[in-house]
Amino acid sequence: MPEVGNGHVATVVMGNAVYMNGLYNGANVSSHRARIPSRAAVMATIISPASGWKTKYRMDFGRGVFSEIHTADDFTVMVNRYAHRELTRLLVTEVIVNRTVTSRPVTIAFTVNNGSESEDIDFQQKGQGMMSGKTREPEYPDMSPTTDVTVVYSEVLPNMTFDSIVQAYMPFFTSVSTSSSDAIDYFNKGMSRMANGTLYSSHVAAWDSVWQNGRIDLTGNTTMALSTYATLYYLLSSVPLKPDSQWPFVGMAPGGLAHGAAGKDYEGHVFWDQDTWMFPPIMLLHADIGRIIVGTRLRTHQAALKYANMTGYSGARYPWESAFTGLNVSPSVATTVYENHITGDTAWMMRQYLQQTNDTKFLTTDGGYQALSDIAKYWLSRVTFSKTTSLYEIRDVMGPDEWHSPVNNSAYTNVIAAQALYTAIDAASLIKQTPPDDWLKVAQNMYIPFDSEKNFHPEYDDYKTGTNVKQADTIMLGFPLEWPMSAEVRANDLKYYATVTPSGPAMTWGMFAANWLRVGRSNKVKADAAFYKGTYNIQDPFKVWSENADGTGAMNFHTGMGGYLQSLLFGYAGFDFNDQHLGLNPMLPPSLTQVSVTGFDYGGDSLDLSYDADHMNVTVTKHTGRPMVLQLLVDQTLHNLDLGVTVTAQCQPAYILRPVT
């Protein structure tokens, strides 16, 4: 079943559990999302008439509404379920009955699928329609005590018969917050919206604003278009649209916000998945939401400093899995000890944010430079200088390929560490700081495994040719890490690792597709095959993503969604941004006749791209009003891009140049 959410609260449709952003229970490695028994899963069952009607289910991704529709000749009963996009504490279930004047009486039985009592929260009933409690066990008592949570909800009558009423509208609210007054306030806001007739319309308007500001439209293959809308919806429904002054956004988890009970879907923890897979497509289409995601790492910076110190290193180290406090909560010893690359992934996310926005306030006022500086200090304390090679090595690690550890000199880990150092250096220059000399020395002299005979990158030292790997790992040196190498080496990496990656999770194939396209247009057939392979993880009818193609693993796998969207945006559309420009290299995905990317953000402006097999159109839709306009460079010809201006050109590599102010 699909999920509905708004970044603060979410649930799987009709499921017996509700989850709230940042609400965890369990000490350190036993931490998991705290389960709230659902009061939102109001089940409306027609018990009379006993037959003569049909039922269908519909997930409207554009409006963020799941509908259960019972239709007969003389009546319709519709049950709508949604997480209100504007009133973020609210889950809403609406029952709408429409009868003809001569309709038979309709009797509906109402129940609530709330499952068992919560093992995570000691709820106490606080009167009719309200329960409050605390999580039972703090993550780390000295950094985060148990968390208060209040649920205010609509009571449900067991049976209702409609025999004279032609139209009936019955909304049921579930309001969830860490504050009882806040939960009550939002419940009352929902009642007010219901009374003035704007409850549903305000929710739809908020989602419409999201789509108008950033989306991907595909023409020529309805199934692929719907899958793309669904993927964008699921990702965006797990993040807030603006910062929450009452409660911080903790971060994105592989299973989304609606999943994550104990022992399932990675317990709802924040991984590298947020920084590497989910962040880039959201950031490109919604820079304001991207800023909120980057902020999740700044919020836990002090914890990262503490974690580095606890594990014997300097600077800031981000743990493999984190929850509310930002300290380690991973139950896996191997990933906890060895999978260090997440600290580099965090810096890489910040690098992309800076390249796209040039937001120096993020570096100064918000503490971004301090975070990057402390990440650089961590890598300086983590490297070992080899007298044999006169290069810096990183030993005893686990790369993204979690089938092999500990290894020395994971190619991915060493590159992401070097890139973190370069990012800190670039950030220093933006705010006119002088970085320590060691940052550049280590970055320039990082050892990267390379087989000169086979002309490719082994995954790690002593890697034996033919050894299978779990997922995309070394191929990511090309994209997203953009490590300098020849097109031949990049192609050799792809050719080789395609033969030893038997059944990677969904995002693996998105990385193969994007990398093949970035090697050159002549590789489109290989890219198309990899792209299609990634779509096997989309489960019908509601386009829910599974971690594995056979439907097993994490549900709803947001990490795979991120990989899929990256293959569309950074592969087929060819987006490629750095400090000086945003690149474009549009190519059509298989079976499509047109692609439109609405509201991609760069340099503080927002633009639209649409293209078919031959031509592309670039339009500026929002402009910051700087003295100089953006410029589009196509085939050595410069076109000015100002508000409302559309430039049409042949589909070929092009660059939107950052203005010099």
Q: How far apart are CA 247 and CA 265, in angstroms?
A: 23
Name which of 621, 622, 567, 576 is nearest 595 in CA terms: 567
Residue in the block written with tokens 């995954």:
459
Of 388, 381, 364, which is closest to residue 417 (Cα–Cα)?
Answer: 381
Which tokens belong to 454?
A: 């086979």
Structure tokens at 408: 């020395």
Tokens 């066990």 belong to residue: 137
The conformation of residue 464, written as its DSSP 8-state character, comes to P
Residue 168's H or E segment, with its range, is strand 167-177
CA-closest candidate to residue 176, choices 32, 37, 67: 37
Kindly report the backbone phi and psi dihedral angles of residue 28, in degrees, each rounded to the nearest multiple of 5, phi listed first: 30, -105
Beta strands across the sheet bearing 148-153: 54-60, 65-71, 75-83, 90-99, 167-177, 148-153, 130-134, 124-125
Residue 322's beta-bridge partner residues? 270, 328
Residue 349 amino acid letter: M
Helical segments of 459-523, H only: 487-499, 506-519
Distances (CA, A) of 426 to 325, 369, 432, 635: 29, 10, 10, 29
Q: Amino acid identity, residue 408?
A: N
* Residues 497 and 516 sit within 8 Å (Cβ to Cβ): no
Q: Report the run of H or E that residue 108 belongs to, with start and end.
A: strand 106-112
- Give 100's contacts (C-beta < 8 A, 6+ positions apart): 74, 75, 166
Handedness of CA 470, 472, 475, 480 (dihedral sign): negative
Contacts of 47 (CB under 8 A, 6+ apart): 107, 108, 109, 159
Catalytic residue IDs: 402
Rounded alpha-carbon distances, angstroms, from residue 381 to 290, 309, 385, 399: 30, 11, 11, 18
Take residue 414 and report the two structure tokens written for it: 């060493």
Do the beta carbons of residue 163 and residue 75 sit within 8 Å? no
Angstrom distances, CA of residue 297 to CA of 282, 361, 372, 380: 16, 16, 11, 20
